[in-house]
A and B are shown apart, each in its own frame.
Chain A
Amino acid sequence: MTATTHLIFGLFTETPLHAGGGSKDGLIDLPIQREIHSGWPCVFGSAMKGALRARADQLGVDDDLKVTAFGPDTLNASDHAGALLVGDARLLLLPVRSLTGHFRMVTCPALLRRFVADRARAGLTGPIPAIPEVEQGSVQVKNPQGKGDIFLEEFCFTPQPWSTADEWVELLLALVAPVPGLEEKDVRETLASQLTVVDDDSFSHFCRSAIPVLPHVRINSQTKTVEGGGLWHEESLPPDTLLYCVVAAQPPRSKRYHDMNSAKLLEQACEALFASGPYLQVGGNETTGMGWCRVARVAAELPGGEQ
């Protein structure tokens, strides 16, 4: 079998992200993409790959490298497949407003479990802290004492101590790209103070009720009033959401790069995409500033399971 090289992209949204899920779901005119069985928001692999390719186009990346990594254009689609395998961007932390103070970065055991499985598949090593067990109606946070009840959206939770919070913070911090001027220590402390685990059922509910919905109107420029039918509601992932995406490279299939191995190609592709800055625009409404993510790269130490 060919040797595949993996890495995990951490995507931290800096502006609202709208990866459109297509048709109305009866509630929202323009819903975001979600996983059907869990209802968790996500960004499908095809949208992620398109975003990466669009960035390569914008930065004027060398054509040969682009075609090798992402595959040829439609007219020459049968030449060979691209070498990059881009997975779905999966949710890890969702910011939820809190009546009792600053917003919380919320996750649940099921998401953490899946993240651990994805890390293993991608060949990432290192110690994994225990998955927290959360009772209905309570949340786990690093320092619960003196806090009183924690409100998330309209719901009230009793905070419990989370013994492995610090280890989880380290694991998640690797997915948040550093920013010049922001000390790593600050980022770590902020995340530690905001990180909150709720039970899976409550999290499912937040994936509906805590997702921002914005009304948009189309104004008739003659009358300066709303045009008939010109009101619609759009859903988007809020800023400060953390997603991650498993990316792998296979040995290149194009003539020019035929002798290169997958690790080298992945390195070159990432260098070409992110040397100018760890940023990526994903999803719609680019012209209104939406979809900007900060990208962290976590390399695999072992060849992953996707051989």
Chain B
Amino acid sequence: MVKETAVVKETPISSARVPSAAGSGDIRLIEQRRAKFALQRIEDALAKSEDGKYRHSQLKSFLRRLPAMIQMNGFGQALAFYYAKRTNYEAYGVVYKLLEDWLCAEGQVYAGAEGFEYALYPQSRPHLLHELTSRDQYHYRRAEAEAQALLAWAKKFAEALILSNDDVEDD
């Protein structure tokens, strides 16, 4: 289970594009905020059109795979892997971005680090990886626990909303 340490300050949603970690005033539980954020991101992704680089089924498969990968290979390693793969398979980028925007949002463990634009530029700066590698191991651990808690929701919503189940090829 994730230990709740930080009390997230209630602030109005700052931008429509990147929902802040603190939701509107009627939401109380951190779990509800995680769920809301994850659901929003999965729905955003479903609004994207599929092409050679992006398929909804890939997003589901990559979300399913990440929690175990974090536990097996370590948080930083798993994130770096997802970041590296984002140019060939956009769904990896969507997952990385989900974690980055959540962990760098206000009231979160890496608050203050700005996320990059939602369009996944190959030359964009990996803020979350920078934070992960420059802050101490207690932040790292908290970020890992928080990421797992968010992924639990994202994985469930992806399984609920993405029905196609093609075999996902991966190099």
Is A233's beta carbon under 8 Å from chain B? Answer: yes
Give Cα A133 to B72, complex, Å.
30
| Pair B167/A228 contact, Cβ less than 8 Å | yes
**Closest beta carbon of chain A to B38's beta carbon, Å:** 11
**Closest beta carbon of chain A to B34's beta carbon, Å:** 11
Instruction: Tell me which of B141, B151, B165, B167 contacts A27 (CB under 8 A).
Output: B151
Q: Which residue of A lies closest to B66 (CB)?
A: A27
Is B7's beta carbon under 8 Å from chain A? Answer: no
Query: Given contacts A26-B152, A27-B151, are A229 and B71 in contact (CB under 8 A)?
Result: no
Is A154's beta carbon under 8 Å from chain B? Answer: yes
Is B160's beta carbon under 8 Å from chain A? Answer: no
| Pair A208/B165 contact, Cβ less than 8 Å | no
Is B156's beta carbon under 8 Å from chain A? Answer: yes
* Residues of B close to A28: CB separation below 8 A: 67-68, 71
**Closest beta carbon of chain A to B77's beta carbon, Å:** 8
Give Cα A215 to B68, complex, Å.
8
**Interface SS of chain B:** helix
Is B49's beta carbon under 8 Å from chain A? Answer: no
* Residues of A close to B152: CB separation below 8 A: 25-27
Is B74's beta carbon under 8 Å from chain A? Answer: yes
**Closest beta carbon of chain B to A218's beta carbon, Å:** 13
Is A225's beta carbon under 8 Å from chain B? Answer: yes
Give Cα A213 to B153, complex, Å.
20
* Residues of A close to B148: CB separation below 8 A: 27, 208
Is B119's beta carbon under 8 Å from chain A? Answer: no
Please give the number of chain A residues whose Cβ is less than 8 angstroms from any Cβ of chain B in the complex.
Answer: 24
Q: Which residue of A lies closest to B64 (CB)?
A: A231
Q: Which residue of A lies closest to B71 (CB)?
A: A213
Instruction: Tell me which of A155, A209, A226 contacts B71 (CB under 8 A).
Output: A209
| Pair B167/A226 contact, Cβ less than 8 Å | yes
* Residues of B close to A153: CB separation below 8 A: 74
| Pair A225/B167 contact, Cβ less than 8 Å | yes
Is A211's beta carbon under 8 Å from chain B? Answer: yes
| Pair B156/A26 contact, Cβ less than 8 Å | yes
| Pair A233/B68 contact, Cβ less than 8 Å | yes
Give Cα A137 to B67, complex, Å.
26
Q: Which residue of B lies closest to A215 (CB)?
A: B68
* Residues of A close to B137: CB separation below 8 A: 137, 154-156
| Pair A39/B1 contact, Cβ less than 8 Å | yes
**Closest beta carbon of chain B to A224's beta carbon, Å:** 13
**Closest beta carbon of chain B to A268's beta carbon, Å:** 42
Best-surrounded residue of B148, B151, B153 (most CB of chain A within 10 A): B148
Give Cα A228 to B57, complex, Å.
12
Q: Which residue of A lies closest to B154 (CB)?
A: A26
* Residues of A close to B74: CB separation below 8 A: 153-154, 209
| Pair B71/A208 contact, Cβ less than 8 Å | yes
* Residues of B close to A136: CB separation below 8 A: 138
Q: Which residue of B lies closest to A212 (CB)?
A: B72
Give Cα A233 to B148, complex, Å.
15
Is B144's beta carbon under 8 Å from chain A? Answer: yes
A225-264 vs B, Cβ < 8 Å mask (1 yes, 0 no): 1101100010000000000000000000000000000000
Q: Which residue of B lies closest to A228 (CB)?
A: B165
**Closest beta carbon of chain A to B40's beta carbon, Å:** 18
| Pair B67/A209 contact, Cβ less than 8 Å | no
Q: Which residue of B lies closest to A235 (CB)?
A: B71
**Closest beta carbon of chain B to A49's beta carbon, Å:** 27
| Pair A154/B68 contact, Cβ less than 8 Å | no
Question: Which A195-221 residues have C-beta < 8 A from chain B?
Answer: 205, 208-209, 211-213, 215
Using a CB–CB cutoff of 8 Å, the interface residues on chain B facing chain A are 1, 67-68, 71-72, 74-76, 137-138, 140-141, 144-145, 148, 151-153, 155-156, 165, 167
Nearest 9 Cβ contacts at the A-B interface: A26-B152, A27-B67, A233-B68, A213-B68, A213-B71, A154-B74, A155-B137, A205-B141, A213-B72
Q: A28-B67, A154-B140, A233-B68 are in contact. List 6 more A-B contacts (CB 8 A).
A: A26-B67, A27-B148, A27-B151, A208-B71, A208-B148, A215-B68
Task: Provide a sorted-by-A list of 19 A–B residue pairs whose CB atoms are within 8 angstroms.
Answer: A26-B151, A26-B155, A27-B68, A27-B148, A27-B152, A28-B68, A137-B137, A154-B74, A156-B137, A205-B141, A208-B71, A208-B145, A209-B75, A211-B71, A212-B72, A213-B68, A213-B71, A213-B72, A229-B165
